Every structure is written in C-alpha cells, then in structure tokens.
Amino acid sequence: MVESGIAGETLGELASAIGVRVEEAAVVAELKAGSEEAYAWLIGEFQRPVYGLVYRMVSDPADAADTTQDVFLKVFRGMNQFHGESSLKTWIYRIALHEAANRKRWWFRHKAQETSIEPPDSDGFSGNDEAMQNAMTDQRDSPFDSVAHREVQQRVDAELRKVAEPYRTTLILRDLEEMSYEEIAEVLQISLGTVKSRLTRGRQALKQRLAPYVREVGGELGLTVPDKEASSAPRVAAGGRRVEVMP
C-alpha cells in the first residue's frame, strides 16, 4: 500500500510536470508567432520577479529598472532561439543575471567615477520605486512593525551584498527567489552538488555577518535567532514577520 501511494505521488508529479511543459510550449509558440497577448502575459508574469532579482544584483533602483528593460528586449529578440532545453523561467533568469552582471561591470568602469549631486534616499529607494517598496513591506503591519521589518530587511540586504560571489547569487535564487535546486542548476549551468555547496557556504557567511547585528538590536526590534543546534542558517523575525534564510 505504501509503495502504491509513493508510485501514485510520483506519477502525479510527473503528469503535473508534463502538463506544465505542454502549457509552456503553447505559450512559447504564441510568443514566437508575435502574439501581443502572449507578450503581455510574459511581462505580467516575469517583470516584477526579474526586477527584484536584478535589483538585488545591482543595488540601484534606476539601474535595475533600465536593466530589466534590457532583459525583456533580449527575451523578445531572442525568443526564436529558445528551443526549450530549459524552462522559460530559467532561460529568462539566466538572461537577467547576465544583463545584471554586465550592468555592474559598466557601473564600476564608468558610473562609480561620477559624483552625484543629489542626496541619497533615506531608505535606499527612489520615489518611483513603489513596486520594490511594496514587495518588501507587509501592508498589514502596524507602523512600528513596518519600520522594524524594513530596517531588518535593509540590513539583511546590505549584508547579503557583502557575501562573495558566487555564493550571493545562489543565495538570492534559492532563499529569496525560492527557486528549486534543479532550477538554480539550470540558471547557473552548474551541478546540483555545486548548488548545495554554494548554498551551505553562502548561508554560513551571511549568518556570520548578521550575528553581531542581531546581538546588538535584537531585543529592541524583537529579533530572534535560534540556537546553533536548531539550525545552521540565519533566521530573524521582527514585528510578527520573519526574515530568514531557509535550510
């Protein structure tokens, strides 16, 4: 009976995966045919997550917005070269990471040498960056909870930016984008073993960076970190919301 149940679950998962592939193939066919409805769906489905991924890579709202536009231009122009070797999502994310890396290289070569005459935003967001702001703040929180959660999220983001590559990108894809190990392997074109190794090292590095902050302001903001025996990954919570790097 148990073996039958397991077999049933496996077949169900396989049927679901096949169904997704068939549905995606139909969408890709519409995209290749130039369907405006299909392109509208693509933008609605992927624009926000792609922006979020790019923003975490380049750390500047304006650059992230420009890069996101570049990503979708590459997607539209390259659709005929997409043959389904990977999922549409992983293909788009691979393009996004490539464009974000190009933007960062350009920034270090050119923009970093410029001196801005405008004061930086107090919270790191531009006035037009409502999408990212909403994504990082739970509108159900009380004013204090929103501020506390936002402060914690900003600190997590700041420390995450200091985690060395390639561990940082792997952390972003797994713990923030919630991609599967298999999807990450496809996006980064590495083995599953390498994905898991990078996650382990990245999480440990982030945990070490966050530990002093939690010890310093944990009581004030209501942050909690489990005992070492309970988890090897950093987990902090504030205002009823949990900001964590999952195991």
Nearest by Cα to 221 from 136, 154, 126 = 154
Which residue is listed with tokens 């914690």? 152
Q: Could you tell me if residue 126 is inside a domain?
A: no
Domain limits for position 148? 143-247
Domain identity same for 92 and 166:
no
Q: Could you tell me if residue 198 is inside a domain?
A: yes
Instruction: Give pTM, 2 decimals.
Output: 0.66
Cis peptide before 119 (omega within 30 of 0): no
Q: Could you tell me if residue 74 is inside a domain?
A: yes
CA distance 218 to 239: 12
DSSP H or E stretch at residue 235: strand 235-238
Domain identity same for 91 and 167:
no
DSSP state, 217? H
Which residue is listed with tokens 């959660």? 149
pLDDT of 111 reads 57
pLDDT of 59 reads 81
Domain identity same for 103 and 152:
no
Q: Could you tell me if residue 97 is inside a domain?
A: yes
pLDDT of 4 reads 46
Q: Could you tell me if residue 120 is inside a domain?
A: no
3-state helix, strand, coil in the chain (%, to 5): 70, 5, 25
Residue 95 belongs to a domain with what CATH number? 1.10.1740.10
Phi, psi angles (nearest 5°) of residue 220: -65, -40
Domain count, the chain: 2
Residue 189 belongs to a domain with what CATH number? 1.10.10.10
CA distance 45 to 41: 6
Domain identity same for 162 and 106:
no
pLDDT tens for 8-63 read 445 444 444 444 566 788 888 898 898 889 899 999 999 999 999 999 888 889 99
Q: Could you tell me if residue 115 is inside a domain?
A: no
pLDDT tens for 188-239 read 999 999 999 999 999 999 989 888 888 877 666 666 555 544 444 554 444 3
Q: Could you tell me if residue 116 is inside a domain?
A: no
